[in-house]
Structures are given as structure tokens and as C-alpha cells.
Chains A and B, each alone.
Chain A
Amino acid sequence: MKKIFICIVLLALLGFAPAHSNNLPDINQVRTAYLFNVAKFISWPENSFDNDSAPLVIGIVEQPELAASLSVLQDKKIRQHPIEIRDLSSLNSVTGCHIIYLSDQSRITPDSLFDKVGNRAILTIGDDKSFAREGGILQFVTIRGRLRFIVNLDVAKRQQISIDSQLLALALEVIEVRK
């Protein structure tokens, strides 16, 4: 009986201790960490940067929450290049970006982004259902409640974006028609 009592007291004490929130991590924080990690495995053509310490520019189209979340990257560097976040409200300033992220919440369609980017050495990332299939380089997908990605290697090659094989190995799917 005494043991049961101790047990209940212990449980009660635990109950009064602040319980951790059951909330899952914010998707934008996970996207931020993803973008940072992905960028480490990408090489841009030499002329993309003015010099070795020129900033690596990440443009976020019409998604201020993600742009805000990305601000933690501003004191990080990728191979000497400091990271600069650009909050894009239109596609007029895509030039100068090394990465452009287009959310499926945006009014701007993936097609108009692809038109604008053309063959420029810009890593296009999006989460539209057919983003990679229709001309984007990296597409986020949520599968089994986790964030994964698929890569369109044809487009990457055309835009002179070279992707480390370690990153490709982690892709859920690699689209590659032209060998």
C-alpha cells in the first residue's frame, strides 16, 4: 500500500512539472535546415560569384514566414560565401540569386519561374506537386510525415548546377532521361 502511495505521489510530482509541448517542429525550420544542408552539396559555375567571398543569395518567392525563418542563416557561410536572404515579391530580381525557393502557396506559377530562370545557373527549389517534373531542379515532398526531396538531374545539368553524388544518393527519386 505504501509503495502504491509513493508511486502516486511520484506521478503527481511529474504531473506538476512543466510538460513539453507535443508540437511537431515547424515545417519552415525544417525547410531552413534542409536548404542550408542542400546548399553545401551544390557547386555553381565559377562566374556565378564575383569573388571567393561574394554572398550566396537565396531568394524566397512570396513566403515571408520562410524568409524570416531563414534569417538564422545570415551569419552562416557556405565555402567562404556568406548567405544572403532575399524576400522576392516578384520574379523581376531573380538574376543574382543562386537559389530560388518557390512555395506552392505563391500566386506565381512554377512555369513562369522556369521561363524567367531559363538556363541561368540558379538552383530552383519548390514544393508544387510536379515542380521537378516540369522543369524545377529540386522538389520537396512530404512522405510518411517527413520532408524528402526529388531531383531533376537533366535540368540541373542544363543550368550548369552540379550536385554532389552524396546528395543524389539521399534523393527519394532522381529524374534523369538524358544520360
Chain B
Amino acid sequence: MALPFKIKKIFQILGLGLLIWPLCAHAENNELLNLDLTDLMQIQITSAGRKEQSLSDVPAAVYVITAEDIATSAATSLPELLRMVPGLQVARIGSSKWAVASRGFNGTFSSELLVQIDGRSVYTPAFSGVYWDMQTVMLEEIERIEVIRGPGATLWGANAVNGIINIITKAASDSTGIYASTASGNLEQAAGSLRYGQQFGTSIYGKGYFEFHKRSDFSYAPSDKAEINAENDANDSWEMLNGGFRFDGDISLKQSWTLQGDIYSGEENQQTYAYWDETVAAQSLRDDVIKVNGYNILGRWQQHVSETGEWALQAYYDYSERKESYIDQSYKTFDIDLQHRFQLFDRNDIVWGLGYRNIEDEFNGSNILTIDPARETVDLYSAFVQDEISLIRDRLLLTLGTKYEHNDYTDEELQPSVRLLWKPTKNQSVWTSVSKAVRTPSRFETAISVVMSRYEFPPFVIPVYMQGNNEFGSENVIAYEAGYRLGLNENFTFDLTLFHNEYKDLREYYFTSTGSQVDNGGKGSSNGLEMAFEWKPTGWLKTALNYSYIDLDITSDSIALDPRYSTNATVLSYSSPKHQVSLRTGISLLENLQLNLFGRYVDEIKQSSPSTASGVDAYFALDASILWQVNENLSLKIAGQNLTDPEHLEFVNEYFTQPTEVGRSVYAQLNFKY
């Protein structure tokens, strides 16, 4: 029984809290006088010494999720947090599988969105996408999440075609002391985390953490219930154990460094539905356990030359492996980047950088999926330069930039952008941009061979393959964007973005004698609008209203021979909800009691995967959380997700798993801080 144990734990934590409570009174002035200098240097006088980046000056569609947003939300995972961002499509495929995209092209293998955690790319280039179920960040340790919709390739490089997500964790100097939390609920079975941070000497800060999370099974969608198993149990529970450390230090006023690392190990159940049996034409279900393991280590050194000048050098090594019934994958990535920012002739703010990345991958396929060659090492060299020119000081800014990349698949890629920002008044800005970005081919697109179906020609069963193509080239986008921002005061902001994207050379599948093959035959365009209002009418109420619209029109001259499946172009056109509306409200009921509501409407998805029967109905979902700050050290959160709806479907996976519904989740979380 898990519950009694949990209660025991709560009591232990409570007891601890009561015991140390009297000790934590603030030092009065006279007590400060008794401290020596070393102790004085440990007293924090400002909370989080970050300078607020002024968003009104950024000529791009940027949205920031703050630590406070995270603390008050009901979300228990990274993708759930991203539901707050206008213009992103976030859909839950199952207990821990997600489809997250920016400005369309959604899918489990959503390839056009780059994601970084503290400057480390978590985009898996071999299949071009992010395995969200392997990304372990302690949510309480996130300082902010910056989301840039639209191409960011000039600064961040290839694969940032439709957006970039930068997850930035707190420096060790902002995480001193003990933090412990424990949570339990119907779907969030058990979650616990512990962090400890302290100052070493005068100039070094360190923290360490570990975390455990177990999520229970979801259920299959009704239409498939009968045919899959009697209990409708999707058998997709997930558990993860992870830990890590971070050290931050100052060498002088102008030089600082960071060393951080993480390690994780997880197990995730799934039932793969595929053409396992070579002797029959039908698909069959196989119980499977995904095993993931990995670690990473990152070092960064920064030198502030002046207010407008800075050098930064960063290097990391990342190992990750993922084993499931149809393929085992492992990656060793080494990356080093140098960046320099300086002012030139008073009016030019220049940033340039150099980068090198080496990725060594290894695959072990199955009778339904192989990658040939099974091992490969690729090198990626890059350089970028961006100049922000003040045409009229504080009024009109022109930003020119380009990135040059050399990769082993397509050789050279140039990704330029031009951006213009005009500030007619202090609290308004208008911006526009044109940029080009590419997505480079993945290993799956160049080297895959997967059984897509089997046909019966008695006495034979003939497999039909989808095959990679080593001639496959980069996908291209030219994006036109325009935006308007109004910040009447701190209590009212409005942000509007319009975009038009022209795509070419998109991935498509064409018929061959053995099945189909990957090709660059898709092209098309998308149009969209994203709006974000934030309004704090009084001290106790805040609201955030978002709306986004997208219309994708992707075509190719490929045709689908089998009526059960469509072309990739059709999937890309149909896989994103046209309209999304969300409203977040935070109400301070009492000084130490806060209620947060998050309601969202997501329009229908006509088709989320190649299967023509993969439509998803429009839905409304409501999340709520009550946060009770019991005292300075202790807080309690009671949260519920999908409260208005027992279960609904959000997305149908492209391959291997069956439509799974997102259920109602309720959990309680106890947080202790000292």
C-alpha cells in the first residue's frame, strides 16, 4: 500500500518543519553586526539577480513562462506547461507521449521545433524531434521558459524552422537551502523531489537534486476499446528517476562559470500495434517496455567585457539511449560553442559565434524497422553573425543576420534573416521580419526501412516497406512575420503576431516497386495569427487570454493508393487545430491562498496521422489548482486537470500505438522549503 507510507512521509516532513521553525527567524540588525564578512556575503539581498529582458524590444514572437506561472499551474510535465503559450500546438498522446509543435506540423516526430535545456539541444537529430518522455527537468528549478515562434535559425541553427523553446534553470545561487516536495494522485501516482543548495566559500554555489515520478496507465479511446483489450487499459504507465547537480561561480566581477550535469533512468510501458507477425497480413499488439537511460554534463564560461560586450564559451557532452521493441537507439553528442557580443561604432550591436557538434549514433532494429548503416558519426560546423543597427536611437532598429552551417548530409546551409523594429512610443512596438530556415535530413529519412503493411498472396505474405532516401535534402521555409506590442503599464500588455510561411522540399512519400520512399516532394504555405493579452485589474486578480489561428495548405503530387492512408502533405495540412483559445486566471483568495484556473478550447484536428481515421474532436479542458502557503516553509497544492471532462482524445499517434484518451487527474502536492 502506497498511501500509509505517503502519510508517514507527510508527518515526517511536518515534524521537521515544526522543529526548525523557531530557528528561522530573520536576523535583526544587531545580529547582522555579529556576523563576520564571510557570513555577510551569504545574505541574499535581492531575490534572483536577473535583469528583466525587455520583450518590447525583441523583433520576434516571444512568450515567456515564468517560475511563478510554473509554481501556480497544475502542470506536472514540460509539455503541459507549454499549453500556456499562444501559437504552440500541444497534444497529449498518452500517459507520457506528447506531440508538441509551433505553428503546425504536429506529430510525435514533430520535426520543426528546436528545444534546448540550459543551452543543450534535446532535439534528437536522428529522428528529428524531441522525446518529451525522456526530458527530465525539475519543474521547481526552472527559472523561465522562453518560447520563440517562427524561425530562429540565424541564432540557433538548423531545425529551428517553426520555433525554439529555451528552458532555463535557476542558478545554484538562486537555489540555496532545502527544497522537498511530494505529490500523489489518481494519475500522478507518486512524485517526489529533493534539492539541496549551498554556498561554498565566498564565490561558489552548488546544488544537487533528485527526483522520482510515476504516472499510471491511461485508457484507450472508446472506438478501439473492444478490439484491443477488455479493460481498455492502454498499459502506458511511466516512471523516471533522475538526479543532477549545478555549480555556479564567480572568478571576478566580470567572469563567471557554470558546471552542471544530469543523469536519468526510466521505464515506460507501451503496447505497440504493428506488423509483427511475418506470416499474417494483420497487425498485432505487443506488450513492450521502453527503457531510457542517459546523462549529460555541461560547462559554461562567461566574460562580461562591458555593458554591451560579452564572451561566452560553452561545451557539453550528452549520452542518451532508448530501447523499445522495434528499435534501440543511442546517441553520443559533443558540442562546443563560442559567442561574442560587442558594440561597434556606437550604433551596431554585433553578436557572432562559432560552433562544432559531433554526434555518434547506433541503432539496433527489428523485423519491422531497420536503419542502414546502423552506426554513423556526423560532424556539424557552424558560424553565425547578427548585427542590430540603431537607425534611429531607441526608435528604429534593423537586425541583419545569417547562420552558415556545414553538415554531412546536405553540405552547406545558409539561413539569413532581416528584422525591423519600430517604437512609435515608449509603450508600443511594431516589428516585421523575413527569414529563411532549413531542417536538415534525419537518419530516419535517409536510412530507414519500415514495414508499413503486409499483403496476403497465398501462400505468401508480402511486406510493403517505407524506405529512406539518402538523396533526401533539407526542408526549407521562408517566413514573413509582423507583430505589434502594447504595454500600457505593468498591468496590461497586448501582443499580436501575424505570419505567412512558404515551405518547399517538405518530406513526402512516393510509391516504388517495394512500397514507398521518402522524397522532398511537399510544398505549401501557412497563415496564422497569435494574440496574447495579460491583464491584472487589481492586486488579487490576474488573467491571461490567448488566441491562435492557423491555416496550413500543404500539397504534393504524391497520391495515396490505399484509402485507409493519406499522403504526408494531407497530414501536415490537417494535423493542427485551426483555433485555440485559452484563459488563465489567478485569484488571491487570502494572503496565503491562491486559486488558479486554466481553461482552453482546442479546435478539431481533421487528421493527426497518415491513417484517414485519425481525426480528433474539438474539446474544452479545465485545469485548476489551489495553492496554500501554510507558512514560510510549507505550502500545499491541490490540483486537478481535465476537470470538466472524464476523458478525451487529443491526438492519434502516427505509428505503433493506438488512440489513447487523456483522463481526469487530481493530485495533492506538499512543498517544503528551508
A: which residues have CB within 8 A of B?
3-4, 7, 10-11, 14-15, 17, 19-25, 27, 29-30, 32-34, 36-38, 69, 72-73, 76, 141-148, 150, 167, 170, 172-173
Contact = CB atoms under 8 A, between A and B. Distances in A.
Nearest 5 CB-CB pairings of A with B = A144-B173, A33-B32, A145-B49, A145-B46, A173-B252
Contacts of A32: 29, 32-33
B592 A15 contact: yes
Nearest to B44: A145
B182 to A, nearest CB: 12
B544 to A, nearest CB: 24
B33 A141 contact: no
A41 B4 CA distance: 57
Given A143-B250, A145-B174, A170-B38, A17 B631 contact: yes
A141 B25 CA distance: 26
A150 B253 CA distance: 8
Contacts of B24: 20
A146 B43 contact: yes
B408 to A, nearest CB: 41
Given A143-B49, A173-B253, 20 more contacts: A3-B4, A3-B11, A7-B10, A7-B14, A14-B17, A14-B18, A15-B628, A20-B26, A20-B632, A22-B632, A25-B27, A27-B45, A32-B29, A37-B35, A142-B46, A145-B49, A146-B43, A167-B37, A172-B252, A173-B252
B374 interface: no
A11 to B, nearest CB: 6
Contacts of B636: 11
Contacts of A148: 41, 202
B205 A7 contact: no
B353 to A, nearest CB: 25
Given A14-B17, A38-B37, A142 B632 contact: no
Given A19-B632, A24-B47, A170 B41 contact: yes
Given A20-B25, A145-B174, A25 B17 contact: no
B203 interface: yes
Contacts of B253: 141, 143, 150, 172-173
A30 B45 contact: yes
Given A20-B24, A25-B32, A144-B49, A15 B40 contact: no
The listed residue with most A CB atoms (<10 A of its CB), out of B10, B25, B42, is B10
A174 to B, nearest CB: 9
A147 B630 contact: no
B252 A7 contact: no
Nearest to B45: A27
A144 B171 contact: yes
B173 A33 contact: no
Nearest to B42: A146
A141 B173 CA distance: 16
Nearest to A8: B636
11 contacts: A3-B4, A4-B7, A11-B14, A15-B628, A29-B32, A30-B43, A30-B45, A32-B33, A33-B33, A147-B40, A170-B38
Contacts of A142: 45-46, 49
Contacts of A141: 253
The listed residue with most A CB atoms (<10 A of its CB), out of B17, B27, B45, B629, is B45
Interface in B7-62: 7, 10-11, 14, 17-18, 24-27, 29-30, 32-33, 35-38, 40-49
Contacts of B25: 20
A15 B630 contact: yes
B236 interface: no
B268 interface: no
Nearest to A38: B37
Contact of B26 (A25, A27, A170): A25
A23 B26 CA distance: 9
B248 interface: yes
A14 B631 contact: yes
Contacts of B42: 146
Nearest to B30: A72
Nearest to B35: A33
Contacts of B359: none
A141 B254 CA distance: 11
B634 interface: yes
A143 B7 CA distance: 41
Interface in B402-423: none
A146 B44 contact: yes
A147 B45 contact: yes
A27 B46 CA distance: 9
A14 B635 CA distance: 11
Contacts of B203: 172
Contacts of B37: 34, 37-38, 167, 170
A19 B592 contact: yes
